[in-house]
Structure 1
Amino acid sequence: MITTHSIYFGNARNMKELASESVNLVVTSPPYPMIEMWDAQFGASSSGIRRALEAGDGKSAYELMHRALDKVWQETDRVLAPSGIVCINIGDATRKVGEAFRLYPNHVRITSFFVKAGYDVLPMIIWRKTSNKPNKFMGSGMLPPNAYVTLEHEYVLIFRKGGNRQFGEGTAARRQSAYFREERNAWFSDVWSGLKGVPQQLKGNSRNRSAAYPFELPYRLIQMYSVQGDTVLDPFAGTGTTLLAAMASARNSAGYELDRTLEPIIDERVAGVKKLTETVVAERLEKHRQLTGIARDGGSAAYLSKQYSFSVTTSQETDIRLTLADSVEKRAVGQYRVKHSFKG
């Protein structure tokens, strides 16, 4: 199997390189409105945002930032196929603008856009990100009533464009793309913990981010909401984490990124995808072997994997075939081709 992957260095408000209804799944984490580290990027897109922040008008700045994101969501809707899924990792913001400290509920505003666009809202995931800082409490400390709850989670919002996806000739790919039962139990829980943001102190780069989402997050979502051979889109590609997760999953991918200086960082990460897939697949198989060993002792593993000859719990798991990246070829700026094989 061969998959193709593209990073376009431009604004995702106009994804002219992508045909309408050509994407099966969107997995992304946009800039978070009202988080100060993103003020400059939002301000560059709108003088109104800069003026609102300077005037201490947080409510107007918040709405204008989301209107900038709306333009990307509108283009995302154009390229997403019917029954496609959108997964957006977003955090709310707490901030004092002018004299007022308040919460800016980013997850509510984004959900409102997709509801108005006619999407089905699916149950969201709470990504639990515990802070161990001793000074994490804000406001008046131990004195009521002016202290504030600390945000220790982010959201993965999930939307579907229309009804359930129907499979005809693609049924074989769907069965090969199945996940193990214990993975389903963990991944389809509405609270995820143990996934830590990845530091990204990018030398010489103006966008030093401290907690980009980890590889495991888009990797899980890609397994959950797409099949091998599908196309995954990230309109805010950053250093290419969603791209890597798609490569490791035998899905095609496309991404958009404003910052051209990230190209060598993406290239470096892509160059390591062969080793990455070997590690990911080995870990998934080993975890399953350990669990099915326990299951056999309990007598509950009733089926046999066709590819791996070990026990699985359900008939839906018998055709699972995990893929390795055998080779990666850079064909042009931001353009890659990956050759895959099935792990035996």
Structure 2
Amino acid sequence: MNHTIYFNAAQNMSQIKDKSVDLVVTSPPYPMIEMWDDIMSNQNQDIRSAFDNNKPREAFELMHQELDKVWKECWRVLKDGSFLCINIGDATRTINGEFALYNNNTQIIQACEKLGFINLPNILWRKATNAPNKFMGSGMLPCGAYVTLEHEWILIFRKGGKRVYKTAEAKESRRDSSFFWEERNVWFSDVWEIKGVKQNINKAPSRERNASYPLEIPYRLINMYSQKGDVVLDPFMGLGTTAIAAIINERNSVGYEIDPLLKPLLKDILNSTDISQANVFLYNRYKKHLDFVEERIKQKKEVKYDNEKLNCKVMTGQETNLAFHYLKSITLQKDNDELSFETSYFLDRKIEDMPPTEQGSLFFSE
């Protein structure tokens, strides 16, 4: 599998051919979140002028006009029947004494629908916090406090109709990329309870904080909306969370990062990905399934089918060809204007060969 990162703005992804991408999974800068003001203003100086003139709604609209250019490029590069998944949070901000909500999710939905994307049921990512100072406003007094934002959105779009599987090879790859029945029941629910991740960056010269989502989010989405060997694009690469999820899931990936100063950090993150931990994560996924089957049998409930590749019982016939392919190597191929990595896998490694451990993955956030 190949993984490439380009260091330029995603408003122009000319390195990618039309209809060559199978899935987009991304989390863009959130308009009206202050940490992104400079990056977005550098794309359009009118944004900075709008802030200087105390015109927040104008700045908000201009920021989304820049994001709209990226969604247009996503439409161009995505194949028919492919998906666009966008993690976005709404914003609250006080400007010129006015506290207000800025609905980023509705702006993106409207823009993508105008391009022709079909908006499917979206996911509410709830990342609740118990911080005592999370409430905004006057506390216990009526008419002066504000509801806290403890959720973000994962917007799901499809380009055109359902994906068509024409060849026997494509159909086999789809079956090989299936997921467990109990995973389906969690992943395809409309509310995800997932903790956020720490946002400090120790080695980035251009910013102190990072807005990366936890790896569990792109990991789920890549499993849900692509199959092994597909190409996954992230137009807002950040610290490479989507690329790591693609690597673990045996997909190809392409990413764009506007900040060239993040290149050494991205190189270090991907080049030093802990292969053993990635494989332990897959093993733990298998072990969790075994625990599910054992508990179901204890309750005298049926587990009807056999998966001979994994040597375990499964709930449906669609799971009988599911296989885990373990990561063998990550090799740096290019380090010039772009970064390029190649990954290889143990394609038919027996699950019994994996270490019998239950330690957690360094990447995975429960």
- Return the TM-score normalized by structure 2: 0.91
| 1:172-216 deviation line (CA, Å, top 9, x unaligned) | 000000000111011111111133224332334222225420111
* Secondary structure of residue in 2 paired with 1:107: helix
Q: Aligned-pair distance for 1:117? A: 1.2
- 1:201 is paired with a residue whose SS is coil
Separation of aligned partners in 2, 1:56 and 1:279: 52
- Partner secondary structure for residue 83 of structure 2: strand
1:337 to 326, 342, 359: 342
Q: CA deviation at 1:96?
A: 0.8
Contact 1:228 / 1:251 at 8 angstroms: preserved in 2? Answer: yes
Which structure 2 residue ranges, 5 or more long, are not aligned?
351-366
Distance change >3 Å, CA 273–CA 15, structure 1 → 2? farther
Provide closer, same or farther for how the CA distance between residues 273 and 25 of structure 1 changes in structure 2, counting only shifts above 3 A. Answer: farther
Equivalent residue in structure 2 for 1:78, among 54, 63, 76? 76
2:140 matched residue in structure 1 = 142
Distance (whole Å) between structure 1 residues aligned to residue 44 and residue 163 of structure 2? 38
- The 5 A counterparts of 1:104-143 are 104-143=102-141
Cross-structure match for 1:18: 16
Match of 1:237, SS state, is coil
- Counterparts of 1:188-203 in structure 2, within 5 Å, are 188-203=188-203
Q: Distance in 2 between matches of 1:172 and 1:204?
A: 42
Do 1:85 and 1:160's aligned partners in 2 also have CA atoms closer than 8 Å?
A: yes
Q: Unaligned 5+ residue runs, structure 1?
A: none
CA deviations 1:77-121 (Å, max 9, x no partner) are: 110111110000000000011131100000000000111111111
Selected match of 1:152 from 136, 150, 153: 150
Bigger shift: residues 86-95 or 207-216 = 207-216
The CA deviation at 1:259 is: 1.5
**Take 2:216 and 2:233, find their aligned partners in 1: how far apart are those partners?**
17
Please give the alpha-carbon distance, in whole angstroms, between the structure 2 residues aligned to 1:146 and 1:118. 41
Greater Cα shift, 115-124 or 173-182: 115-124
In the alignment, the residues of structure 1 paired with residue 243 and residue 171 of structure 2 have an alpha-carbon distance, to the nearest angstrom, of 24
Match of 2:303 in 1: 301
Task: Name whichever of 193-202 and 313-322 sits farther off.
Answer: 193-202
C-alpha separation in 1, matches of 2:208 and 2:162: 39
Question: What is the distance in 1 between the residues matched to 2:195 and 2:76?
Answer: 32
* Matched positions, count: 342
**Deviates further, 130-139 or 223-232:** 130-139
Secondary structure at the residue paired with 1:209?
coil
CA distance in structure 2 between the aligned counterparts of 1:322 and 1:57, rounded to whole angstroms: 52
Give the superposition deviation at 1:132: 1.7
Counterpart-to-counterpart distance in 1, 2:35 and 2:294: 48
SS at match of 1:95: strand
Q: Which amino acid aligns with 1:130?
A: A
Counterpart residue type for residue 97 of structure 2: E
Whether the 8 Å CA contact 1:273–1:325 is kept in 2: the answer is: no
TM-score by length of 1: 0.96
Q: Residues of 1 paired with 2:118 and 2:320: CA distance?
A: 31
Residue deviations 1:199-245 (CA, integer Å, cap 9, x gap) = 33233422222542011110110000000010000000011110110
Q: Which amino acid aligns with 1:309?
A: N
1:81-96 correspondence runs (5 A): 81-96=79-94
Aligned to 2:363: none
Q: 1:162 aligns with which of 145, 160, 163?
A: 160
Mean alpha-carbon deviation: is it higher for 201-210 or for 162-171? 201-210
Deviates more, 1:81-90 or 1:263-272: 263-272
Percent identity, aligned pairs only, is 45
Note the 1:249-260 alignment, pairs <5 A. Answer: 249-260=249-260
Work out the CA distance in 1 between the residues paired with 2:71 and 2:198.
Answer: 25
The answer on whether the counterparts of 1:122 and 1:158 sit within 8 Å (CA) in structure 2 is: yes
Which AA in structure 1 matches 2:344? K
For residues 147-226 of structure 1, what are the structure 2 equivalents within 5 Å?
147-169=145-167, 170-226=170-226
How many angstroms apart in 1 are the aligned matches of 2:264 and 2:49? 35
Q: What RMSD, in angstroms, separates the aligned Cα atoms of the two structures?
A: 1.3
Amino acid at match of 1:264: P
Conserved 8 A contact 2:30-2:88: yes
SS across alignment from 2:179: coil
Contact 1:177 1:321 in 2 (8 A): yes
**Aligned twin of 1:283:** 284
The residue aligned with 2:328 is 326
Tell whether 2:312 aligns with 1:310.
yes
2:356 corresponds in structure 1 to none
| TM superposition outliers: structure 1 runs of 4+ over 6 Å | none
Aligned-partner Cα distance in 2 for 1:194–1:171? 32
C-alpha distance in 2 between matches for 1:184 and 1:204 = 37
